[in-house]
């Protein structure tokens, strides 16, 4: 939830997702509609979980509160910067604002660097030790807490949003770096203002810089000044020698050396570490921000994954490619046939009249399509070896594999076969009968039974079989 993080489009979604998880620890939310909507949007389960959380978050007010936090965050940060800068100016004023214009350089150095060094050590400890108090002592945590309080108040959703954001940052090993980006930036700005005020005062006013002690040995100050001045000396800042440190009344050149030594220590031990850590925090943030997402292996998210899987329609793993059209069996040889006509009613409705009027001399049968009736009829055909068979089916019925198998078995025991899809065996066939016949013809061609011709008129079928009445 840092200022940089809030500009990343994925991070707010992850915060809302985690916030919903923490919210549902107190009890599940009514998410039936959110589950269906998320399931219809995408096939990716992580995107579905996020979409569900966003819908639930909108319903309970998480997104508006997060938007208020993003709106107030820069203003709270600006106020915190102003406060810290004012404190830095106060410290600088205490150092150079005395009426006697006398500066104790050691006291000034401790005043300007003391709190900075303490907070810096706590931040460094927070990188290695899993102690929350180290991170909560930074200016970054103060900024986050103030932003949450201003945006949401005591009764808003700020606590759960803060918990979600810090949890994501902790999991990505970014929490101290995110807080450090804010904290180090504020400190760097504060030191810049302090140095500007200090240099302005030293440049245009006359001060006496020295040190004082009651119980310490003067040699201690000589060693301390030399040790503290080593690093600034690498950048060109002068270091007072032993004579200057021990001199009771330093001349103007010595005062200038003391002033530059004090300025160098503030630059090297105050400003530069904070600037370097700002840059380092930014680099770490850029490298690790891809890990700012929920822990999808958590039991809560595994349960949601299973729920989404249950909502999905069953997948066809091995779809039936369909059966290739078969080859119609060859009929009996003409020498084996007897001059007989079989008219078979196959799976006709019980209320349909049978047999049809106007049939020539023929063997008339009607079967219900059961296995015993089929077998009995096929046995009769095997004995009769008819020259022609007319199969009468109900036009409105849909042909199936059972019909196909029966037709193939009939073709093996006869010479010719015709199919008459009838709506009513004793009525005039209309346009619907023509359409039904077309459907049966297409089915015969699709199953490889082109040998069986279909027609919607009984007399046409009989004429084709050479058995007109």
Mean pLDDT, all residues of the chain: 81
Which of these ranges, 67-71, 244-248, 430-434, has the smallest mean pLDDT?
Answer: 430-434
What six digits make up the tokens of 38? Answer: 């998320």
More confident residue, 469 or 3: 469
Asked whether the predicted pLDDT for residue 466 surpasses 80, the reply is: no
Q: What's the average model confidence in pLDDT over 98-109?
A: 74
From the centroid of its chain, how far is CA 393?
57
Is the separation of the CB atoms in 369 and 392 below 8 Å?
no
Asked whether the predicted pLDDT for residue 428 surpasses 70, the reply is: no
3-state secondary structure the chain: CCCCHHHCCHHHHHHHHHHHHHHHHHCCCCCHHHHHHHHHHCCCHHHHHHHHHHHHHHHHCHHHHHHHHHHHHHHHHHHHHHHHHHHHHHHHHHHHCCCCCEEEHHHHHHHHHHHHHHHHHHHHHHHHCCCHHHHHCCHHHHHHHHHHHHHHCCCCCHHHHHHHHHHHHHHCCCHHHHHHHHHHHHHHHHHHHHHHHHHHHHHHCCCEEECCCCCCCHHHHHHHHHHHHHHHHHCCCCCCCHHHHHCCCCCHHHHHHHHHHHHHHHHHHHHHHHHHHHHHHHHHHHHHHHHCCCCCCCHHHHHHHHHHHHHCCCCCCCCCCCCCCCCCCCCCCHHHCEEEEEEEEECCCCCCCCCCCCCCCCEEEEECCCHHHHHHHHHHHHHHCEEEEEEEEECCCCCCHHHHHHHHHHHCCCCEEEEEEECCCCCCCCHHHHHHHHHHHHHHHHCCCCCCEECCCHHHHHHHCCCCC
Whole-number pLDDT of residue 264: 93
Task: State how beta strands 338-346 and 363-367 pair.
Answer: parallel
Which residues, 6 or more positions from 327, have their beta carbon under 8 angstroms from its beta carbon? 448
Asked whether the predicted pLDDT for residue 99 surpasses 70, the reply is: no
The most confident of 156-165, 175-184, 266-275, 285-294, by mean pLDDT: 266-275
Q: What's the average model confidence in pLDDT over 34-50?
A: 87
More confident residue, 174 or 311: 174
Q: What is the pLDDT of residues 229-266, one digit of tens each?
A: 999 999 999 998 888 888 767 788 888 888 899 999 99
At residue 8 the predicted structure's pLDDT band, cuts being 50, 70 and 90, is very low
What pTM value is reported for the model?
0.59
More confident residue, 307 or 128: 307
Whole-number pLDDT of residue 320: 47
More confident residue, 431 or 373: 373
For residue 185, list its beta bridge partners. Answer: none
Give backbone dihedrals phi and psi of 211, rounded to 5 degrees, phi first: -135, 160
Query: How buried is residue 460: exposed, middle or buried, by Cβ count under 10 Å (0-12/13-18/19+)?
Result: middle
Whole-number pLDDT of residue 2: 40
Is the separation of the CB atoms in 320 and 429 below 8 Å?
no
Q: What is the pLDDT of residues 167-226, one digit of tens each?
A: 888 888 888 888 889 889 989 988 998 898 888 888 888 777 777 777 888 888 889 889
Which of these ranges, 126-135, 218-227, 330-339, has the smallest mean pLDDT?
Answer: 126-135
């Amino acid at each position: 939830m840092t200022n940089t993080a809030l500009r990343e489009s994925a991070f707010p979604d992850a915060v809302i997702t985690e916030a919903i998880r923490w919210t549902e620890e107190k009890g599940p939310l009514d998410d039936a509609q959110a589950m269906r909507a998320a399931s219809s949007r995408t096939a990716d389960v992580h995107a579905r979980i996020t979409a569900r959380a966003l819908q639930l978050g909108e319903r309970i007010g998480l997104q508006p509160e997060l938007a208020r936090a993003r709106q107030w965050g820069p203003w709270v940060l600006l106020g915190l910067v102003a406060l810290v800068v004012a404190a830095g100016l106060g410290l600088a004023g205490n150092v150079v604002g005395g009426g006697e214009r006398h500066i104790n350089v050691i006291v000034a150095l401790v005043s300007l660097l003391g709190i900075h060094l303490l907070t810096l050590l706590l931040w460094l400890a927070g990188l290695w030790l899993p102690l929350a108090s180290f991170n909560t002592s930074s200016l970054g945590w103060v900024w986050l807490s103030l932003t949450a309080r201003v945006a949401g108040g005591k009764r808003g959703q700020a606590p759960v949003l803060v918990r979600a954001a810090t949890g994501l940052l902790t999991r990505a090993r970014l929490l101290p770096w995110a807080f450090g980006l804010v904290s180090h930036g504020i400190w760097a700005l504060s030191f810049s203002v302090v140095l500007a005020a200090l240099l302005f005062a030293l440049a245009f006013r006359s001060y006496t810089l020295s040190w004082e002690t009651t119980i310490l040995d003067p040699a201690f100050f000589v060693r301390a000044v030399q040790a503290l001045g080593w690093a600034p000396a690498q950048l060109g800042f002068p270091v007072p020698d032993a004579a200057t440190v021990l001199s009771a009344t330093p001349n103007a050149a010595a005062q200038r050396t003391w002033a530059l030594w004090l300025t160098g220590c503030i630059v090297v031990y105050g400003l530069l570490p904070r600037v370097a850590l700002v840059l380092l925090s930014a680099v770490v943030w850029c490298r690790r921000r891809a890990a700012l997402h929920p822990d999808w292996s958590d039991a809560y998210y595994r349960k949601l994954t299973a729920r989404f899987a249950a909502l999905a329609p069953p997948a066809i793993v091995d779809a039936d490619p369909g059966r290739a059209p078969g080859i119609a069996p060859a009929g009996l040889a003409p020498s084996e046939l007897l001059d007989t006509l079989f008219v078979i009613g196959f799976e006709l409705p019980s209320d349909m009249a049978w047999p049809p009027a106007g049939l020539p001399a023929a063997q008339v049968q009607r079967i219900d399509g059961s296995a015993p009736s089929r077998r009995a009829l096929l046995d009769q055909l095997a004995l009769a070896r008819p020259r022609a068979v007319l199969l009468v089916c109900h036009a409105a019925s849909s042909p199936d594999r059972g019909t196909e198998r029966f037709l193939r078995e009939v073709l093996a025991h006869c010479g010719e076969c015709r199919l008459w899809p009838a709506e009513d065996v004793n009525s005039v066939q209309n346009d619907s009968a023509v359409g039904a016949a077309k459907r049966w013809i297409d089915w015969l061609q699709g199953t490889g039974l082109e040998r069986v011709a279909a027609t919607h008129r009984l007399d046409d079928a009989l004429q084709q079989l050479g058995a007109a009445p």
